[in-house]
Amino acid sequence: MNYTALIENRRSVREFADTEVRFDQLDILRRYYQHQVRRLIPELKTQLYFFGTDTRAALEGAAGYNQFLVGSPQYLVLMSEAHPQAGLNAGYIMEDLILKLTDMDLNSCWMTFTDSEMVKEALGIVSDLHVAAIAAFGYGKKSTRRLRLNFRSMSDVDIVAKHRYMEPKKGISQLVFRETWGNTHKVLDSIGFYEDMLWEAFYAASLSPSYLNRQAYGFLLHDGRITLVSTPDDYTPETDGSLSLGIVLLHFSAVAEKWGGKIKWQFGERAAKPELPEGYQAVASCIL
Ligand SMILES: Cc1cc2nc3c(=O)[nH]c(=O)nc-3n(C[C@H](O)[C@H](O)[C@H](O)COP(=O)(O)O)c2cc1C
């Protein structure tokens, strides 16, 4: 897949035609998940469920901003075993599926949820795994005007959220720093040969979908490494924050790996420990 082009073309679609996605297309996606999908932590057990037109009523109240569900004929639900990096891994896998959908000319939208058990019960999923990520998908309608008006009539928090959701995304200069957090001086100058590759990979990262478009993260280039840092954000719940971090890792890695081969990310305790402002956290790092 041409990730740079797919990443540029993808956007969240919130209105879908009633037409169900054809069986042969679902089969392509199922096989992609089984054999090709990018996984951040391959040994982590996951399972993908497909749900059709009858699911919307069942999911109502269990998923979507303020339980406001995107109307869609179909949903993907990714289940995962518990693990400290389960959210990152689920964000990474589901975003790769979303880019595969984009490649197949299908539209999609990430869906938030708060309670795995509630979603499992609503959908009749019997599994030891927990719900890790949900996305709506189908054939998008051209206009999103009506849904934007619906956002306007929600509670105060959602009015704030709505402004965020409409905001343009942060660019590379607001996301990538050198040596110390906030330092943008000569960010890409010092890395010579890798400059073009890294620019394209950071550009892909800057276009990542994130919860309420908050982009509560950034990258630090330091000590011959790249470290993904999560930034404090009162609006982003933990689950959505982890998924958003997994998504940004997928965007960065899928593009950077075109040149450099497989990136080995180290997480948690094994990630680099650059000096960061209070509340900021090193999530994953790799050698440049
Ligand atoms: C973890 C996560 C949860 C999201 N949940 C919802 C949701 O419940 N409803 C919705 O309309 N959009 C949802 N979104 C989509 C974001 O609002 C969207 O990605 C962001 O506004 C940027 O827009 P874009 O995807 O068109 O680039 C979610 C995105 C992420 C990453």
- pLDDT, tens digit (0-9, with 9 covering 90-100), for 76-121: 999 999 999 999 999 999 999 999 999 999 999 999 999 999 999 9
- Answer yes or no: do 61 and 175 share one domain: no
CATH code of the domain in which 215 resides:
3.40.109.10
Q: What is the Cα–Cα distance from 108 to 106, expressed in whole angstroms?
A: 7
Which is the closest atom of ligand 1 to the Cα of 147?
Answer: 11
Q: Which of 10-24, 38-52, 134-148, 252-266 has the highest mean pLDDT?
A: 38-52
Q: Say if ligand 1 is within 6 A of residue 213 CB.
A: yes
By residue range, what is the domain housing residue 237?
169-287
Residues 150 and 190 in one domain: no
Looking at 7-21, 121-135, 154-168, 212-226, which range is the least confident one?
Answer: 154-168
Query: 186 and 125 in one domain?
Result: no
The pLDDT value recorded for residue 64 is: 85
Give the pLDDT mean for 219-227: 95
- Residue with the bigger pLDDT between 89 and 64: it is 89
Predicted pLDDT at 192 = 61
**CA quadruple 250, 252, 257, 260: dihedral, nearest 10:** -150
CA separation for the pair 144, 111 (Å, rounded): 16
| Ligand 1 atom at shortest distance from the alpha carbon of 243 | 1
| 121 and 240 fall within a common domain | no
| Res 65: pLDDT | 82
For atom 15 of ligand 1, the residue with the nearest CA is 110
157, 254: one domain: no
Q: Which amino acid is located at 64 in the chain?
A: G
In order of 20, 58, 108, 236, the CA distances from 26 in angstroms are 10, 21, 14, 31
Query: Does position 60 have pLDDT exceeding 90, yes or no?
Result: no
Q: How far is the CA of 210 from the centre of ligand 1 (A)?
A: 6
Does the Cβ of 112 fall within 6 Å of ligand 1?
yes
The preferred substitution site among 56, 65, 137 for testing ligand 1, maximizing ligand atoms within 8 Å of CB, is: 65
Residues above pLDDT 90, as percent of the chain: 71
Which residue has the CA at smallest separation from atom 19 of ligand 1? 209
Q: Which of 163, 195, 221 is the last residue of a domain?
A: 163
The rounded mean pLDDT for the chain is: 89
Determine the Cα–Cα distance for residues 93 and 177; give it in Å rounded to an integer. Answer: 27
